[in-house]
Amino acid sequence: MIDLHTHTNESDGTLSPHELVRAAVNAGLEALAITDHDTFAGYDQAAPGAQSCGLNLVCGVELSTRYRDRPVHLLGYFLKGGPPDEFRDWMSSLQSTRHKRNVELVRKLQSCGVAIGIEEVYEPGRKLPGRPHFAALLLSKGYVSSRQQAFDEYLSESGKCYVARDEPDLEESIARIEECGGIASLAHPTRFSRDRTVAEAAIRAMMKAGLRAVEVHHSDFASGDMEFYRGLADRLRLLVTGGSDFHGENKPAVQLGTGVNGNVRVPKAVLEDLLNASG
């Protein structure tokens, strides 16, 4: 079993890179990809430890992109030695748009009567906060009674304090990943649309922009989704990726490797196919 979609506390997970490596070894995973939002810091820290305990660690990233005016998460995998400096520089520029958004979001929440300060969002040790951290703060301060309510009322696109981030286009993001030898995969395609006809049409269009893979195993999937996307990947000759989308205590129902109530199980062959496609 492998897991190709996980987050550390360098983005919005709660385990440190070292803790995540240890958890992966304890869970008996044969390979682990760290796919933090907009950063390789988690992968970089985890790499030496993974090597010394014989865990096959894959370098990945998850980007928040825009496609036809909708948010789309795109995974990038760099199976042959990580991304070049040029791609890392681009990550730094994406990080600054996130910081800018966070400052603006604090201001907007304050104007909605929420007592929140930027120093709470950037608490010591947290380098790249995201909306899940805002959701946790709104919950702990008693403004909402669940993280989901924080998104619904304040943070989601329809929430009263939503701040749009300057996000790269999906097409540009695919091109940048593929140009430097990476593999671009559409993350959790059911989040794009639960309507499979709509999702399939979008994926066909994304393939024209260079998309090479789709996530076929994910903890958000309902019954039948995995089979549908596996069949779709087969029909469209897309590569397959998959993982739990583990975030530690920020998504407590999701277990590393196995997802929610065991709804994820990614076979090792998935990684072998990706490696072969990487040339």
List residues near Zn ion by CB under 5 A. Answer: 62, 245
Task: Give the shortest CB-78-to-Fe ion separation in angstroms.
Answer: 18
DSSP 172-236: HHHHHHHHTT-EEEE--GGGT-SSHHHHHHHHHHHHHTT--EEEEEETT--TTHHHHHHHHHHHH
Q: Which residue from 17, 132, 257, 259 is in contact with ligand AMP, where contact means CB under 6 A? A: 132
Q: Is there binding between residue 151 and ligand AMP (CB under 6 A)?
A: yes
**Residue that the structure tokens 């603006």 belong to:** 104
Q: Is there binding between residue 130 and ligand AMP (CB under 6 A)?
A: yes
Cα-Cα end-to-end distance for the chain: 23
Q: Which does 64 bind (CB under 5 to 8 A by kind): Zn ion, Fe ion, ligand AMP, none?
A: ligand AMP
Of the pair 83, 129, the CB lying nearest Fe ion is at 129
Of the pair 66, 131, the CB lying nearest ligand AMP is at 131
Rg (CA), the chain: 18
Q: Which residues pair with 74 in a beta bridge?
A: 63, 186
Contacts 24+ apart (CB under 8 A), 107-110: 108/161, 108/163, 109/134, 109/138, 109/154, 109/161
Site map 163..182 versus Fe ion, x via CB under 5 A: --------------------
Task: Give the shortest CB-126-to-ligand AMP separation in angstroms.
Answer: 12
Task: Give the shortest CB-244-to-ligand AMP separation in angstroms.
Answer: 13
Q: Is there binding between residue 12 and Fe ion (CB under 5 A)?
A: yes
Task: Give the shortest CB-59-to-Zn ion separation in angstroms.
Answer: 15
Q: Is there binding between residue 131 and ligand AMP (CB under 6 A)?
A: yes
# residues contacting Fe ion (CB under 5 A): 3
Task: Give the shortest CB-109-to-Fe ion separation in angstroms.
Answer: 20
Considering only 75-83, 154-162, 187-195, 256-264, which stretch makes contact with Fe ion by CB under 5 A? 187-195
Restricted to residues 55-94, the positions that interact with Fe ion (CB under 5 A) are: 73
Q: Which residue from 6, 39, 64, 219 is in contact with ligand AMP, where contact means CB under 6 A? A: 64
Amino acid at 23: A
Q: 3-class SS at 79?
A: coil
Dihedral angle sign, alpha carbons of residues 207, 224, 263, 12:
positive
Nearest residue to 136 (alpha-carbon basis) of 10, 8, 7, 12: 12
Of the pair 144, 239, the CB lying nearest ligand AMP is at 144
CA angle, 81 then 94 then 58, to 5°:
25
Task: Give the shortest CB-231-to-Zn ion separation in angstroms.
Answer: 23
Is-contact 155 108, C-beta < 8 A?
Answer: no
Q: Is there binding between residue 185 and ligand AMP (CB under 6 A)?
A: no
- Cα–Cα dist 1/246, whole Å: 15
Q: 3-class SS at 249?
A: helix
Contact residues: Fe ion, CB under 5 A: 12, 73, 187
Contact residues: ligand AMP, CB under 6 A: 37, 64, 130-132, 148, 151, 156
